[in-house]
Chains A and B, each alone.
Chain A
Amino acid sequence: MTRRDHVRAALIAIALLAHGVYALPLPRAVTDTMLHEDWRQRDILRWQGWLASAGISLSVPQLEGIVVRGSAVSGGLHKTLKRPLKPLFTLTQSDQAWGLFAAATRKPERVVVEVRRGGPSTPWEPVLRRLDPCCTWREDQFRYRRIRGVWDGNKDRAKAAYDPFVDWVARNAFADFPDAERVRVHLEQSRSVYPWDEPDPEVKIRHRRQRSRSSL
């Protein structure tokens, strides 16, 4: 083995260590606010049940405290470990956190675009509703994964790009429907249930935005 072989092996070890640090599946810090999201509360109750069946009795506030403190430590540790490498990983936008469908959502959303062709008494007309054969306006663009990434997400707040996305939708709608006076965009959130459960007909409208022809 030559010196070159040793140097190469050392460099590969360093690179793998750096990526290994990014790959560590350490939970991110969970705040009190995040903890009160529905799905986290359901998980807390499930964990409480499982721990109780294993003979460990904890109240919900106790369990919540453990989650907040534990995740703060693990999230902080991960941040500290990543700090020396951050400039390089930021420059190349590299990472090793692969949460591919880490949790399947039971609150799927579909984007809906509606136009209004007259005054306030005129009904809204849906022109795009994902996977609805009635409304397929510019479907190729809306189903493209990068566009989906802009509007899709179960957070309470819309992403930073959501409002510029609505502007883009409105500009295109006004161009394609010359008689449209207003454009409205929102997300329809439904709830998926197990096949043996009663279907939940409730649909929640989220992040509704409206644009008028004169405002653009």
Chain B
Amino acid sequence: MWRAWVALWTGTEHPRSLALVRILLGAVILMEFLEIWRLDLVVPLFGVADVGGMSDALTRANTPLYYQAFPGTVRSAVALHAVISVAALSFLGGYFTRTSALVLLLGWAQFAQILPAADRGIDTLCRDVLWIFTVAPAGACWSFDALWKTGDFRGDDSHVVCWPRKLILVQLIAIYFLAGVQKTGIHWYPMGHFASLYFILQDPAIARFDFAFTARQPWFFFTQVGSAVTILFQDTYPLVLLWGYYRRTADRPGWLRGLSNRWRFELLWILTGAVFHLLLAASMELGIFPWAMLALYPAWISPDLLGRWLPRIGG
């Protein structure tokens, strides 16, 4: 069993899938912090109350390290935002990729401690994934690191370890499954008439538009279908591991293995997830949530397949 575990995390592959996740996630994170600047919210969100911020960092017991080291001034607030933004840009471009990921992770964590109320689940997810990038060779392709090392922005096609991409997939599976099992609200289930999505859309803090019309049929029925599909999709998400295992052991017998391999069952979960996020982006004010989740999806695409899809820039 141990040997199988070791084998699972051993091996190499082309770095293009990992690099694509880095680029997309880096772009989403950079856009997020530029949005704070565009909305003129740098000082309100990063600053302490004395200088016009919303944070009580200097008056509560557990003052974040950042404000232990630096004074609670406007300049400190702007500086932390600038460090995070530059690290996000550097991470996106693959410039000192691992170091950029580490600086981004630690700076962002300080921001989360400065104003915990402004930190949402998707911020935590991004930081969880940045952990992986602090040690992953994500700068081996489509990066300034690759340009520096090989003379080509695309890298030299050297293979890198495959475990970081697998860990990102584990994280994706964990978030969907855990989100499913932690849905304890009765309205996700038949006893609550699968009305969760309907009620969420009636929340003016969340809804992008006025969804009062969903009280009428057939719209209410569609929201019920949406709730049911969401809970079914999330609770069963770990099945993608089984479908993936079946594909790797296609030469073995079994009717379910045959069926799964013929119909590519895992695509059903992956595509449902993608559609789910696009619908969320269209209907709710969830900020980067759908886009950051979708940024992780290239981890599902094997580097060889991605190379065939992107022949010109695939290297």
Q: Which A positions have Cβ atoms within 8 angstroms of B?
A: 1, 5-6, 8-9, 12-13, 15-16, 19, 23, 25, 43, 46, 91-106, 108-111, 130-131, 140-141, 143-150, 152-153, 159-161, 164-165, 167-168, 171, 192, 194-195
Contacts of B7 in A (CB 8 A): 1
CB-CB contacts below 8 Å: B186-224 with A: 186-188, 191, 193, 195-200, 202-207, 209-210, 215-216, 220
The answer to whether the Cβ of B158 comes within 8 Å of any Cβ in the partner chain is no
A137 to chain B, nearest CB (A): 14
Output the residue of B45, B49, B123, B205 with the most chain A CB within 10 A: B205
Q: Is B271 an interface residue (CB 8 A)?
A: no
Could you show 22 A-B contacts with beta carbons less than 8 Å apart? A5-B10, A6-B6, A12-B167, A16-B170, A92-B109, A95-B128, A96-B174, A97-B182, A102-B182, A102-B185, A104-B187, A106-B187, A108-B205, A108-B206, A109-B204, A144-B35, A145-B286, A161-B115, A164-B55, A194-B193, A195-B198, A195-B216
A92-B105, A96-B128, A195-B220 known; A159 vs B3 contact (CB < 8 Å): no
Give the A-B pair count, Cβ closer than 8 A. 191
Chain B residue total in the interface (Cβ 8 A): 79
Contact residues in B for A95 (Cβ distance below 8 Å): 124, 128
Closest to B102 in A: A92
The distance from the CB of B193 to the nearest CB of chain A, in whole angstroms, is 7
User: Would A9 and B202 count as touching, CB distance under 8 A?
Assistant: no
Measured CB to CB, the residues of B under 8 A from A are 2-3, 5-10, 35-36, 39-41, 44-45, 49, 52-56, 60, 105-106, 108-109, 112-113, 115, 117-121, 123-125, 127-128, 131, 161, 163, 167, 170, 174-175, 178-179, 181-188, 191, 193, 195-200, 202-207, 209-210, 215-216, 220, 285-287, 289
Contacts of A100 in B (CB 8 A): 121, 175, 179, 182
Nearest residue, chain B, Cβ from A100? B179
Q: Are B186 and A43 in contact (CB under 8 A)?
A: yes
Residue of A nearest to B38 (CB): A140
Asked if B199 and A98 make an inter-chain contact with CB atoms under 8 angstroms apart, the answer reads: no
B117 to chain A, nearest CB (A): 5
Check A104 against B45 for contact (C-beta < 8 Å): no
A103 touches B185 (CB 8 A): yes
